[in-house]
Chain A
Amino acid sequence: MSSTEPEQPQGGEPGGYAPSVAERLAFYQRAGGIITPIITAVIAFFMGGLVVLATGHNPFKTYRAIFDGTGLNWFFHFGHHHITLPFTHTRVFFWWDTNANANASYNLSQTLLLTTTLILTGLAVAFAFRCGLFNIGGQGQYITGAIVAVWVGSSWAGMAKGLHVFLAILLACLAGAAIAAVAGFLKAAVGAHEVITTIMLNWIAYWVGSYALGRGGPLQNKVDISVPVSSDVVKSGKLPTFWGNPELQALHVGFFIALGALVVFWLMLNRTTLGYQVRAVGFNPEAARYGGINVARNYVYAMAISGVFAGLGGAMDILGWQYRLGVLDIQVSNIGFIGIAVALLGRNTAVGVGLAALLFGALVNGTSTRGLDPSVFPPTLAGNLTLMIQALVLLFVGADVLVLAIWSSRKKIGLGRRAASPPSPEGAAT
């Protein structure tokens, strides 16, 4: 209850409940470049492997099977192959097999589906983070976006196709922005810590969603009232697909929308006044305030934009491949939470988020019942292995000090001979 800063409303401890992550943020941005995320991921996978080994499975075979399940092996079918030239019947030599691995191509399309959403939920965390706010509410914003998308997509039939999809996406984004802006507003107005408010908003979204789609709820389908699932999105509300069979969750154009969102994220942060202000507030709110930046307004904007990303993620899933939303979907989904790991591993940068989303998308898909070969490793175990790896990534990403210490002690454990080229991160650690 110390009142050191007069401009903080009531109970004015600097930063409120848990200091703003801003101070650490500057450190995150400086420390270690790409080295620490890579080490973090390696440590996490290594420790996951130890758990696999300790419980009597072969970690190498397990990781190999998970890798095959991701579909990323689609890229590695090199060798002596023949393909049919388009529009002819001529078969010619080609170094890359494109036909013989339908399974891998299907798995890859599923990995990219997850990557699409993870990019967006990752950006939702990352954007707020750049403003010094920790948005744990990605999950709630994602659910809100999904609910609105399924409502618009399934009910406003008879609209022109492009318009319908556009409206559904737009309203989902706005809904995500609205629920996120509540947390931003409370932070700006009374200094309520965004972690607490976003956690509460997550659960509010969870229960409101369970109510709306549940039995007797306003969005439940009218055909079979014993099943707590929404009506299907009508044809004009679906996003076009371009890879795979639309009946079996084909990859949709949302993938490119997500890639576009990465570009928008970068442009917005680095090439606009808003982005400049957001970053300034993120680095040091006091200095930003002193420099004439309206910190409170930036908190609201940053949260709202984060909510747009997460809400867009929800819309992509609904309009792209899910086409309906059930109570169970809401209750088991944790894609918004994985976004936290994506953003932190990707160091809240556009490229980093893209790569981390691919990593986690691959991991989630590779350990799913669909992707993983159950004769090598039971997928039920593997799903939990994913959670553990994700947790370890979070733990070590939060502890750069440790990771950097391990890295800087590499010479002592004899790994340092070929590691002279990367920029030394030790200076940043101090």
Chain B
Amino acid sequence: MNTFAASMDRFRFGPRQVARLGIVLGILAFFFALPPIEARAYVVPLLVGLLGAACGIWAVTRGVGRIAWGAVTVGVLGIVLGVLATRSSGTHLHIVVSWGALVASTLVWATPLTFAAIGGMFSERSGVVNIGLEGMMLSGAFFGVLGADKFNSWAMGILVAAVAGGCFALLHAFFAIQLRADQIVGGTAINFLALGVTGYFFIQVYGDVGSPGNLPRIPNVNIPGLKHVTFLGDAFGQLNLMVWLSFVLLIVAHVVMFKTPIGLRIRAVGEHPRAAETVGISVYLIRYASVTLSGVLAALGGAYLAVGFVGSFNENMTAGRGFIALAALIFGNWRPFGAFAAALLFGASTALSFRLATYSDSAAVLFQALPYVLTLIAVAGVIGRSVPPASVGRPYSKQ
């Protein structure tokens, strides 16, 4: 009887669920105005969105924090965007919103962010701030291209990228852990160092010609049966190998971080290193390993960008994606799935910004500021607050 009550309790329709429903309604409000449904009357998104926002407000009054405010925001956004969509011309809508392509494009832009953000999670969960993600990603992009070119194999490209990213991360770890240098200064230095090193060797090796056009690329995974299915075919039929790997990484990272002793140790070292040391965990070892892993993963993200997606390298090609990954990590509250969700959101905003150019060039550019504004709001704690690991950024000295 008791177990039955408990199981019923799990499916109880409480304020939290109402808030989630509100978010769904907010999204639907916008969705109804888009193809294939494409409601042309502005009442439709207005009503659905209002319902969603109402759910959110109700949940707020019942003391649900972050999700409820999220529902209110999503509801209002759904109304605004939905009404805008009903007023825009149908042809424009069809160019911007082709769902399959949009999902595929979102995943393409989200993948480098996912790799780097999950890498950053390992580093920061172990207590070392990693502002240098950008640089490690950039080094992965260049050395990935160099490796793929010189060994004539994309697999070697990935390997070389991982090693290079690991080296930069090891340097950061040495200064941050061993020398107890300021981790933010160190990370900034890593960014500049990677920018300088990749730029220098790019010109030294490839001169003015640029990287070769016949670079071996990371292959796409063609799923035979899926090709002619309407939506799924466009979205998942031809994704790059690294995109699928990022899904695997996501699950592995979650399991390792929250279900294994290793993850417990990493989190312990990041929250309270002295206590961890007391029970026999080597703080230095865990931090070294975590930071190095973060560099390897960030470099894989960069390698995907250069060897998998673009197929070439140019100077400073990551162009701030490492910082967006950092933002995704913070926005996702230092959790793998949170970071992934944020990476998807930011990836979608990038993918959309290219398509929004159909409406207006300048608005599409402005749209790219969105991830940073959202992150600013997240750290400001207007809608819930991102809470970092307690000891992140504090050098630890053994006693």
Contacts and interface: CB of A to CB of B under 8 A. Distances in A.
Contact of B180 (A344, A381, A383, A401): A401
Contacts of B341: none
Interface string B51-81: 0000000000000000000000000000000
Interface stretch (B103-111, B157-165, B195-203): B195-203
Nearest to A216: B362
Nearest to B179: A399
B180 A210 contact: no
Given A391-B193, A395-B175, A18 B183 contact: yes
B185 interface: yes
Given A195-B184, A387-B196, A378 B361 contact: no
B188 A197 contact: no
Chain B contact-residue range equals 35 or more
A399 B177 CA distance: 11
Given A18-B129, A383-B199, A391-B190, A186 B330 contact: no
Given A201-B376, A207-B368, A1 B197 contact: no
B323 interface: yes
B192 A390 contact: yes
Contact of B362 (A134, A214, A385): A214
Interface residues of A, number: 63
Interface in A9-66: 10-11, 13, 15-19, 21, 24, 51, 55
A200 interface: yes
A384 B181 contact: no
Contacts of B363: 211
Contacts of B387: 1, 10-11
Given A200-B327, A208-B369, A384-B196, A18 B184 contact: yes
Contact of B375 (A10, A200, A380, A402): A200
A192 interface: yes
Contacts of B175: 395, 398-399
Given A19-B393, A214-B365, A384 B182 contact: no
Interface of A: 1-2, 10-11, 13, 15-19, 21, 24, 51, 55, 134, 136, 186, 190, 192-193, 195-197, 199-201, 203-204, 206-208, 210-211, 214-217, 337, 340-341, 344, 378, 380-381, 383-395, 397-402
Interface of B: 129, 131, 171, 175, 179-186, 188-193, 195-197, 199-201, 203-204, 271-272, 320, 323, 326-327, 330, 360-363, 365-366, 368-369, 372-373, 375-376, 379-381, 385, 387-388, 390-394
Given A18-B394, A207-B372, A385-B196, 14 more contacts: A1-B387, A21-B182, A196-B379, A203-B323, A206-B369, A208-B366, A210-B365, A337-B192, A387-B196, A388-B196, A389-B196, A394-B192, A398-B189, A402-B181
